[in-house]
């Protein structure tokens, strides 16, 4: 009979951390062929299926980038499913009139806040400031003033898109005539 060693787990206080053991932990590997990273991010194998793939972070991002929720559905079925999903999330749309209910600073949406950043304005800017910043930045980055400058053309398009987002938001609020 071999002499048994003393255990650190007797009585109180517990000398080892809880859950500490000497056995090797089982780690599920990424389901992507050839990957040896831990697969700790589940992804559905197909719509409405309980089966899951388990990917590492890099392969989960690749999988999600290529995921098509409406794959295999006819155009009518896809439209019906999209409509049903929008109907189910209607409670959030009904609560959007509360200032604290939406993203951003409470009075503007997240898209409007991004548009204000593009126009280099503060979150409390009124529409006259928006219009002035749009005109200034559009004039600075107009493709006719800098022919061949792809960066200026991209900035000009971003400024135009930001102005449209803010203009449409003002129209929705009823503070601007269309």
CB 20 within 8 A of CB 28: no
Examine residue 89 and state whether it is found in any structural domain, yes or no: no
Examine residue 134 and state whether it is found in any structural domain, yes or no: yes
* Residues 109 and 160 grouped into a single domain: yes
* Residues 166 and 122 grouped into a single domain: yes
Sequential pLDDT tens for the chain (178 residues)? 556 666 655 556 555 555 555 666 788 899 888 999 998 888 888 767 788 889 998 888 888 787 777 778 888 988 888 777 766 555 555 555 554 444 445 677 788 888 999 999 888 888 899 999 999 999 988 888 878 888 888 999 999 999 999 999 888 877 665 5
Q: So what's the pLDDT on residue 102?
A: 46
Q: So what's the pLDDT on residue 73?
A: 83
Q: Which helix (H) or strand (E) holds 43?
A: strand 41-44
Q: So what's the pLDDT on residue 46?
A: 74
Domain span at residue 118 reads 104-173
Helices (H) and strands (E) in the chain, counts: 6, 2
Q: Into how many domains does the chain fold?
A: 2
**CA 52 vs CA 40, 55, 71, 128, 164: distances in Å:** 11, 10, 17, 52, 41
**Cα gap 12→137, rounded to integer Å:** 70
* Residues 129 and 168 grouped into a single domain: yes
What pTM did the predictor assign?
A: 0.42
């Amino acid at each position: 009979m071999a002499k048994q060693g003393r255990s650190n787990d007797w009585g109180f206080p517990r000398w080892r951390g809880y859950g500490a053991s000497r056995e090797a932990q089982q780690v599920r590997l990424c389901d992507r062929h050839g990957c040896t990273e831990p697969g700790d991010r589940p992804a559905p194998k197909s719509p409405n299926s309980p089966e899951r793939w388990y990917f590492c972070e890099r392969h989960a991002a690749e999988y999600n980038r290529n995921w098509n929720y409406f794959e295999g559905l006819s155009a009518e079925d896809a439209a019906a499913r999209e409509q049903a999903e929008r109907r189910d999330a209607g409670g959030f749309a009904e609560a959007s009139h509360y200032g604290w209910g939406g993203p951003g600073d409470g009075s503007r949406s997240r898209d409007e806040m991004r548009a204000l950043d593009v126009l280099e304005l503060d979150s409390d800017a009124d529409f006259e400031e928006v219009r002035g910043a749009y005109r200034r930045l559009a004039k600075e980055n107009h493709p006719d003033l800098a022919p061949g400058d792809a960066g200026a053309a991209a900035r000009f398009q971003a400024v135009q898109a930001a102005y449209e987002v803010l203009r449409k938001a003002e129209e929705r609020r009823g503070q601007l005539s269309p």
